[in-house]
Amino acid sequence: MTSMEGLAVMTSGGDAAGMNPAVKCVVDYARSLGYKPYIIRNGLTGMVEDEISEATQEDVSGIMHRGGTLFRSSRCPQFFEYEARKKAYDNLKKHNIDKLVVIGGDGSFAALNQFYSDFKVPFAGIPATIDNDIPGTDYCLGVDTALNVIRESIDSIRDTAHSFSRAFVVETMGRHCGYLAMASALASGAEICLVPEIEYDMEKIGVRLRKEIAAGRGYFIAIVAEGTNMGSYLTRWINDSLNMDARLTVLGHVQRGGSPTVTDRVMAYKFAVSAVDALHQGHTDYISTYKEGTLGYKSISEVTNAKVELDPRMIKLCTPLAQ
């Protein structure tokens, strides 16, 4: 390796708190190993359109506390076309960039895997998605911050639920994975939790909650993952079946924002060092992982060919909330 070999970092896919600290650490650590660090702005689109520049101290100073991604992201359908990927490759060669770190989700990793298949540019992935739905890793950047945003929202909602003896249905993000909803339900003491991973029984839920209402419960909180498509239905069901005024709160994209928590800032550093080390050691298409408290790597094929498996202990804890 020469001192001028370029290593670029980019953020891609849905934004997540922790991306900015990860970019900073990639830049700083790569420089310490003798690479010339570059930043690709605007995700895959920026690679195609040559929004690539050498990383400066100003780029990565004072960004640890910033949410989302200062370097922007994008959806890039044109990257499915070989001509666009060839253009991106030519841009990298122009800057003498031979290695890539991509901070994003499985879609971004799959795109870079195709790029590697075409042009053999080594890449390492840092998992970053608040859904926590990347196979092979227990944790993705942004999850802890999102959970704290949800927790604060539910705590505020509980205040007004108690004041007016109402039920509130809170819908979290999670199209295919119910991790946010389950963790939030446990952390907030919710009475109902509906997620794709657990079969729910509305009749049993009704029997349980009627007993609790008869025993003096004046309000309750229900958490649903957006992937269940049950938010509106559950709100109407509570009104009609339990004779309790119910309101629906869809948290939406507020869950992606906010200053990264300490956990996400520290994990950003750990993932970034792991990703740069993988490239420095000669790995070509690896994803940094965090499994049972240990950092590691998985090949992109292991990630894309596997299914997300949530902690069975969490599923067991949440199952009574769906019955």
- Provide DSSP, 230-271: -HHHHHHHHHHHH---EEEEE-GGGGG-SPPPHHHHHHHHHH
Domain extent at residue 215? 144-256
Are 168 and 132 contained in the same domain? Answer: no
- The pLDDT of residue 2 is 46
Band of the pLDDT at 145, cuts 50, 70, 90?
very high
Q: If you compute the radius of gyration of the chain from its CA atoms, what whole number of angstroms results?
A: 22
Are 127 and 154 contained in the same domain? Answer: no
Inform me whether the pLDDT recorded for 144 exceeds 50. yes
- The pLDDT of residue 18 is 97
Are 297 and 239 contained in the same domain? Answer: no
Tell me if 322 is assigned to some domain: no
Are 12 and 120 contained in the same domain? Answer: yes
Tell me if 188 is assigned to some domain: yes
The structural domain count of the chain equals 2
Are 240 and 270 contained in the same domain? Answer: no
Mean pLDDT of the chain: 95
Are 154 and 104 contained in the same domain? Answer: no
Are 138 and 188 contained in the same domain? Answer: no
Looking up residue 235, the CATH number of its domain turns out to be 3.40.50.460
Classify 35 as helix, strand or coil.
Answer: coil
Q: Catalytic amino acids?
A: 131
Tell me if 319 is assigned to some domain: no
Alpha helix ranges (H) inside 165-242: 179-188, 202-214, 231-242
- What's the predicted TM-score (pTM) here? 0.93
Are 121 and 213 contained in the same domain? Answer: no
Inform me whether the pLDDT recorded for 3 exceeds 90. no
Tell me if 166 is assigned to some domain: yes
220 secondary structure, DSSP code:
E
Tell me if 315 is assigned to some domain: no
Q: List CB contacts of 228: < 8 A, sequence separation 6 or more.
A: 178, 194, 195, 196
Once rounded to an integer, what is the mean pLDDT over residues 296-321?
A: 91
What is the rounded (10 degree) CA torsion for 173, 174, 179, 183? 20
Looking up residue 34, the CATH number of its domain turns out to be 3.40.50.450
Tell me if 20 is assigned to some domain: yes
Once rounded to an integer, what is the mean pLDDT over residues 111-140?
A: 95
Once rounded to an integer, what is the mean pLDDT over residues 148-161?
A: 95
Tell me if 195 is assigned to some domain: yes
Are 235 and 268 contained in the same domain? Answer: no
Inform me whether the pLDDT recorded for 60 exceeds 70. yes
Are 184 and 237 contained in the same domain? Answer: yes
Token representation of residue 116: 């590697």
Inform me whether the pLDDT recorded for 70 exceeds 70. yes
Are 229 and 281 contained in the same domain? Answer: no
Tell me if 302 is assigned to some domain: yes
Are 10 and 117 contained in the same domain? Answer: yes
Length of the chain: 323
pLDDT tens figures, 261-305:
999 999 999 999 999 999 999 999 999 999 989 999 999 888 888
